[in-house]
Amino acid sequence: MERDFRYKMRHIGDAFVDKVENLSLTMKGYVKGIALTYNIDELKEEKEKIVNMIGKRTATIRDKGTDLVHDDVLIKLFDRLDVIQGNVDASIRERKTRLYPNKT
């Protein structure tokens, strides 16, 4: 019994350090998840702004009576919208894999 107690006392520091290290890794994962959520929210707000800009531009073009298909500004807005939507989808996938790591 004396031997077990001595062993535990000698190695209690190792066990404590292991627990603190595991806790820090877990906290890093939580912080990354929170950052992803804020990033997703910001991207969705930016997406909404671009959709509004597309609507305004479409109304302007319609009032002028010009062709929607050949409008360079509208094409750039749609390209930017595609990039943002891709970033939103990638961030949501990453967040889901962090929240549910065992699901495929």
What's the pLDDT score for residue 78?
95
pTM, two decimals, is: 0.69
| In a domain? residue 16 | yes
7 within domain boundaries: yes
Question: Between these two residues, 78 and 100, which has the higher pLDDT value?
Answer: 78
Domain that holds residue 68: 2-99
Cα→Cα distances 39→45, 62, 82, 101, 103, Å: 10, 34, 16, 20, 23
In a domain, residue 92? The reply is yes
Residue 57 resides in a domain? yes
Mean pLDDT score, 30-35: 84
Mean pLDDT (whole number) for 58-62: 92
Domain count along the chain: 1
Considering the domain boundaries, does residue 82 fall inside one? yes
Nearest to 78 by CA among 86, 42, 62: 86
104 is a domain residue? no
The amino acid at 18: D
SS3 category, 99: helix
